[in-house]
Amino acid sequence: MKINIPGKWYLSLTSEAWESSRFNFQDWVNVKHEWVPELNMVVGAAISALKKTWKRWKFSREAGYNTEELEARINLIQHCLGLEETEFY
């Protein structure tokens, strides 16, 4: 997933961006409760953390703050969920 400045981070779970090598997001009812040991949380909480981190990244970037730590966190969560990692510019 390549994103320069995301307009909306939250794509539909049927989108290609949500194709995971680790989880089947099409079965959201069951998959949201699966444990992700690397993050010490369930998939649903990891998706929520990803959403919040994207929002913080967007705000920080607009405000001119350094976003390297947020970018690393976004990529970590994406990696642990089996999603394609974002390339930041």
Q: Encode pLDDT of 30-83 as tens digits.
A: 999 999 999 999 999 999 999 999 999 999 999 999 999 999 999 999 999 999
**Boundaries of domain holding 53:** 1-6+35-89
Q: For residue 10, what pLDDT is reported?
A: 46
**Residue at 25 is within a domain:** no
Is residue 17 a part of any domain in this protein? no
Whether 52 maps to a domain, the answer reads yes
Q: How far apart are CA 55 and CA 60, in angstroms?
A: 9
Write down the H helix ranges in the chain: 28-31, 43-63, 68-80
How many domains in the chain? Answer: 1
Assigned domain for 63 exists: yes
Flag whether 68 is in a domain: yes
The pLDDT value recorded for residue 67 is: 96
What is the pLDDT at residue 19?
A: 86
2 within domain boundaries: yes
> For residue 81, is it within any domain?
yes
With left for phi above 0 and alpha for psi between -120 and 50, is residue 40 left, alpha or beta? left
Write down the pTM of the prediction: 0.81
